[in-house]
Amino acid sequence: METLLNVMLIRFTVLAGCLVVAALLLFTVALTLKRRGKLDDVRRYTDPAAKAALRAAARRLEGRISATPRSRDRGGR
């Protein structure tokens, strides 16, 4: 049992470490772009892709909500 908990703790630590490194890398790239004055250009190029991704996620979420039975259909409140 102790070995399993150690493995789970190590896995969580590696995952958390990767997330921290990714956040620091993203922050460094954004700061570098801002200092060079190119952050607005990057925003202009990535804005359509980000909006499309959000629309796709909203459609996917909307499909899940409409596919799940509502509580009133099951006799709940």
Domain range annotation of the chain: 1-36, 37-67
pLDDT of residue 20: 98
Crossing angle of the two packed helices 39-67 and 2-36, in degrees rounded to 10: 140
DSSP 24-73: HHHHHHHHHHHHHT-HHHHHHHHHHHHHHHHHHHHHHHHHHHHHSPPGGG
State pLDDT tens for residues 19-76: 999 999 999 999 999 999 998 999 999 999 999 999 999 999 988 777 666 555 555 5
pTM: 0.57
